[in-house]
Amino acid sequence: MILAPSIVWLRRDLRLADQAAFAAAAAAGPVIPVYVLDDETPRHRRMGAATRWWLHHSLASLDADLRAKGSRLILRRGRCEAVLAELARETGATTVHCLKHYEPWWRNAERAVGAALDLLRHDGNYLVPPGAITTGSGLPYKIYTPFWRALEARMPPPEPQPAPEHLAAPAAWPASDRLEDWNLLPTKPDWAGGMRAEWSPGEAGALQRLEAFTGRAKAYAARRNLPSVPGTSRLSPHLHFGEISPAAAWHATAMRGGSVGTFLGELGWRDYAQTVILQLPDYAGNPAREAFATFPWREDPAGLKAWQQGLTGYPIVDAGMRELWATGWMHNRVRMIAASFLIKHLLIDWREGERWFWDTLVDADYASNAVNWQWSAGTGVDSNMFVRIMAPLTQSPKFDAAGYIRQWVPELAHLDDSAIHDPEVRPRKYPPRIVGHAEARARALAAYAQWNAATKS
């Protein structure tokens, strides 16, 4: 008897190990793995340039891994429900397996696919299924700290499962697009040289990154805020694309001792962000605190451009923005400093920053990006107060960023540690500060006070 094949529908879950959709499909018979490049369903939330670069290499890596298992990756382009329905007709597939996704457009797509086909949805992209952690009254959490306490009480997650030894092929393989024809890589100009030097997309690259981090995981709390030293895991893009499961990251690090609990809390923050967008799907588009819809943000195209290009005259901010442009990633502490600078020093709407990060980050996760920006702006359900304004010229020496600045702002590389954070004499090629700190702080507080008074009148 010839078994009908099952389709594994892939999105941000590009791995074989600890991947429940592959495990279930492999147990049922022949498997057809498919990635659909769907730019129509997300509409304005289609992937940015940096994530498209990563996607190209991750898909190539997954196809190689599949071929080693006797399988291959099928590539199709279009709306997911139409493409998968056509593929099922072509191949006789009766079932589609996928991991659950929680971005609003993917939830809509899953409903559409489920209406047309037998769709079996599995968990596996988060420590627990988003929505499963609730308060005593059965409501989802809005604040991170009690959410994390409740999540931590349910840990550890199940042990990660190995990849299938073999994936049975269908009687005939359906046609596939050529990855090169999708034009995911930049060419004119090719701005991805720094990304190629920094990253190895794919499941093997994720495991290498995890192995490199485990040896220093116990010192995470002390080192994660120091941009000049290797203290963070740099797992975020691998986790975003599902090249490694959060359960695998948890089990590899949880027993390392020291301050590894701080890192585990960052894995919990990923789950928390998903809980937020389940409650507020348009979190990247609207402030959670509705009164902020009338906040008097400034229109400042020149300031926005200077921030994007790393030409603000604040070395720590400029170093972060240049690292982002070169590598598609920015150190977490510097992300907070750069975000605070845009929002409070320049009084530019946080959504401008969210959109820039969406296009330039290789780990541009809808939930985490939006939650982090609303935290910085003071507009989120759980956020920093707007009146708490980071001082870049204090943050930079506090977190020993001199080496980081030398790496990314070479105009200042000749300066010693006492001068590099805020040089009095500036090299000709490095700009003056686009706004003074005291001036910017006073302007932000005045705007907040005026808005706050207006909202209460």
Residues 400 and 420 in one domain: yes
Residues 6+ apart with CB under 8 A from 427: 411, 412
Residues 226 and 351 in one domain: no
Q: Is 183 a catalytic residue?
A: no
Residues 369 and 397 in one domain: yes
Task: Report if residue 409 sits inside a domain.
Answer: yes
φ/ψ of residue 32, rounded to 5: -120, 100
Set 350, 358, 375, 408: catalytic member: 350
Task: Report if residue 166 sits inside a domain.
Answer: no
Q: What gap in Å lies between CA 151 and CA 132, rounded to an integer?
A: 9
Token pair of 31 as six digits: 């498997």
Set 266, 411, 451, 452: catalytic member: 266
Token pair of 419 as six digits: 């001068």
Set 108, 286, 332, 452: catalytic member: 332
Residues 297 and 432 in one domain: yes
Residues 294 and 268 in one domain: no
3-state secondary structure of 383: coil
Residues 13 and 62 in one domain: yes
CATH number where 400 lies:
1.10.579.10
Q: Which domain holds residue 83?
A: 1-124
Residues 306 and 448 in one domain: yes
H-helix or E-strand spanning residue 315:
helix 315-327
**Is 29 buried (19+), middle (13-18) or exposed (0-12) by CB count in 10 A?**
middle
Q: What gap in Å lies between CA 291 and CA 451, rounded to an integer?
A: 9
End of a domain among 260, 279, 298? 279
Residues 119 and 65 in one domain: yes
Among 440, 337, 356, 444, CA closest to 394:
337
Set 297, 307, 329, 358: catalytic member: 297
Q: Is 203 a catalytic residue?
A: no
End of a domain among 231, 258, 279? 279
Q: Is 269 a catalytic residue?
A: yes
Task: Report if residue 429 sits inside a domain.
Answer: yes
| pLDDT score at 3 | 86
Residues 209 and 89 in one domain: no
6-10 vs 118-122, strand pairing mode: unpaired
φ/ψ of residue 239, rounded to 5: -65, -40
Q: Is 297 a catalytic residue?
A: yes
Q: Cis omega before residue 189 (within 30°)?
A: yes
Residues 269 and 304 in one domain: no
Among 328, 50, 315, 356, CA closest to 194:
328
Token pair of 401 as six digits: 């960023």
Contact 174, 46 (CB under 8 A): no
Residue with tokens 């090719």: 190
Residues 404 and 304 in one domain: yes
Q: Is 451 a catalytic residue?
A: no
pLDDT by residue for the chain (457 residues), tens digit each? Answer: 568 999 999 999 999 999 999 999 999 999 999 999 999 999 889 999 999 999 999 999 999 999 999 999 999 999 999 999 999 999 999 899 999 999 999 999 999 999 999 999 999 999 999 999 999 999 999 999 999 999 999 999 999 999 999 999 999 999 999 999 999 999 989 999 999 999 999 999 999 999 999 999 999 999 999 999 999 999 999 999 999 999 999 999 999 999 999 999 999 999 999 999 999 999 999 999 999 999 999 999 999 999 999 999 999 999 999 999 999 999 999 999 999 999 999 999 999 999 999 999 999 999 999 999 999 999 999 999 999 999 999 999 999 999 999 999 999 999 999 999 999 989 989 999 999 999 999 999 999 999 999 998 7
Task: Report if residue 284 sits inside a domain.
Answer: no
| Helix/strand number for the chain, H first, E second | 19, 5
Contact 377, 389 (CB under 8 A): no
3-state secondary structure of 98: strand
Rounded to the nearest 10°, the torsion over CA 126, 130, 133, 137 is 180
Q: What gap in Å lies between CA 14 and CA 16, rounded to an integer?
A: 7
Tell me how many domains the chain contains.
Answer: 3
Q: What gap in Å lies between CA 280 and CA 100, rounded to an integer?
A: 18
| pLDDT score at 174 | 98
Set 148, 269, 307, 408: catalytic member: 269
Task: Report if residue 179 sits inside a domain.
Answer: no
CATH number where 119 lies:
3.40.50.620
Task: Report if residue 320 sits inside a domain.
Answer: yes
Q: Is 373 a catalytic residue?
A: yes
Q: Using alpha carbons, list the distances in angstroms from residue 143 to 69, 139, 140, 449, 451.
A: 43, 12, 9, 25, 25
φ/ψ of residue 286, rounded to 5: -135, 140
CATH number where 223 lies:
1.25.40.80
Residues 117 and 132 in one domain: no
Task: Report if residue 177 sits inside a domain.
Answer: no
Q: What gap in Å lies between CA 88 and CA 90, rounded to an integer?
A: 5
3-state secondary structure of 414: coil
Residues 6+ apart with CB under 8 A from 126: 246, 270, 271, 274
Task: Report if residue 164 sits inside a domain.
Answer: no
Contact 191, 47 (CB under 8 A): no
